[in-house]
A and B are shown apart, each in its own frame.
Chain A
Amino acid sequence: MGLINTFSAEEPLGPNVVVTRLEAAINWSRKYSFFLYPFATACCAMEFMAVGGPRYDLDRFGAALPRFSPRQADLLMVVGTITHKQAPILVKVYNQMTEPKWVMAFGVCAVSGGFYDNYATVQGIDTLIPVDVYIPGCPPRPEMVLDGLMLLQEKVTQEKWSDWPKGPAPVKMKC
């Protein structure tokens, strides 16, 4: 991804102070400026609206602005149940997002299918795309969502340049 990765700064130079400080700065700026793609389908969208509302403010995390184009977003929040009919669209949106990108499974239907153990529901989106943060709850309270977002921020702090790019979702599209 650009000059830095192809240059592979880490190998000849090792994890020295310049590289680690630069990584820390980049991770700091990434974690405080998530551009959400709210892939909202079901009831959890109500709590997502509340999280974005004035009381449980997402804006103080720098994550207020939803970007409805996958090219411009970096945090895919899968809010609500994903059915088998919707699954190809989810994978397509994930593949269209540019790296670095993170996925948050918001709500127990996205985490594991919820109590919809039937013919129509995907039993957890991690059967389709790699997930970074799982937020259970039906629907989760806004405080849980903010906690999950902070966990994701901690995860982003630990990242290295060599983590990216990761490539498209490994699941095969049948069509």
Chain B
Amino acid sequence: MTDSAKTLHTEHMVINMGPSHPVTHGTVKFTVTLDGETVHDLKVDIGYLHRGFEKMCENGTWEQVMPYTDRLNYVSPLINNVGYALAVEKLFGVETPARCQYIRVIACEMARICDHFTNIAAGAMEVGAMTVFLYFVEARDLLWDLMEELCGARVTANYVRIGGLKNDLPEGFGAKTAKAFETCRELWTDVDKLLTKNRIFIDRMRDVGTMPAEEAMAYGFTGPCLRASGVPYDVRKAHPYLVYDQLDFEIPVGETGDNFDRYLVRMEEIQQSMRIVEQALAQLPAGPINLDVPGLRWQSKDDTYNRIEALIFHFKTITEGIQPPAGEIYAAVEGANGELGFYLVSDGSGKPVKCRVRPPSFPMTAAMPRMMRGRLIADIVPTFDMINMIGGECDR
């Protein structure tokens, strides 16, 4: 630097990457203190999408919570549904029939694939690769067509019920899934060819947002971000639920914990999830999908209209809610972002005392300042994308 440059007076500039910003997914405010283009400090403000999930749950019955869970991680809503249903079933101490468990696995994994498609599509678009967005949105639409056949809704499915499911798989679901997966795999290969060895993409993502394994664990990271840091923790393998212990799949683990590893982990997880769905469809047993416990799960319409006991149970569970025994449990499933835990407290009545969601992307958003100090302002974009903060679950 010349002498005149050394005597120049410089100041840190504070910039607001406000809550209405394409990169911050509309609900996070970054207050960035900049020294030129280098981030000196970053403050994160969340809560712009706090919709009072817990308060609404405490004011309704146990089954009325189900539509609210859809809107938590709204990119993979079926996983939230399944997580909540499993948690309430743990409170009751019951397990659903085998066919129901297999279908829940299929639903979860399809939702996980949709989540990873959306995340990579948005991430690539925000660093400039518009084509990837169009390809993966088309792939996601194909899967949403399948979801629509399954439960009637594309996004907020509300398909899982406590003690079972809303309805069984439709006719020909297996064949349609196979066809959709063929196209999804082609699109996946296209995106892989476009991004994985792309100089520009690698320069934006490699060694950016690095989080070493020890610190990631101290911050409470879980899911693809933790696995990208090298820690092989996946709830499906550590505490198997549903029928994951009978299915053959691998969990990809990264090395450095930077954004590129997170991208690679998610891409590989898409392939593994497709494998799981295909195995589950092949191994699907016949049988009922709902538990035959009238106080927990409604009986069929046939029964309800023709037998007085079923009608009475139906009436009571709607007006008073199902009544789990008093106590508290914590049940975790592997959400697309990490460990999605439900902590439920019951006092024996039809309304929850406490219905807490452990949000997987909350600790990752808290770690943004740690990842961004000393980096350039343009690095905020890919890092925040690859963390996959979903406002619905972070703010609840």
Measured CB to CB, the residues of A under 8 A from B are 38-43, 45-47, 49-50, 52-55, 66, 68, 80-81, 83, 85-86, 89-90, 93, 115-116, 118-121, 138-139, 141
Contacts and interface: CB of A to CB of B under 8 A. Distances in A.
Interface residues of B, number: 37
Nearest to B138: A54
A131 to B, nearest CB: 17
Interface string B66-85: 01101100110000000000
Contacts of A46: 74-75, 118, 155
B51 A118 contact: yes
Nearest to A66: B22
A59 to B, nearest CB: 11
A42 B49 contact: yes
Interface string B18-61: 11111001110000000000000000000111111001100000
Interface of B: 18-22, 25-27, 47-52, 55-56, 67-68, 70-71, 74-75, 118, 121-122, 133-134, 137-138, 140-141, 144, 154-156, 391-392
B18 A89 contact: yes
Nearest to A45: B26
B141 A50 contact: yes
A43 B155 contact: yes
Given A43-B71, A45-B26, A83-B48, A139 B156 contact: yes
Given A43-B74, A83-B49, A116-B52, A89 B20 contact: yes
Contacts of A40: 25-26
B19 A89 contact: yes
A80 B52 contact: no
Contacts of B56: 115-116, 118
A41 B27 contact: yes
Nearest to A85: B48
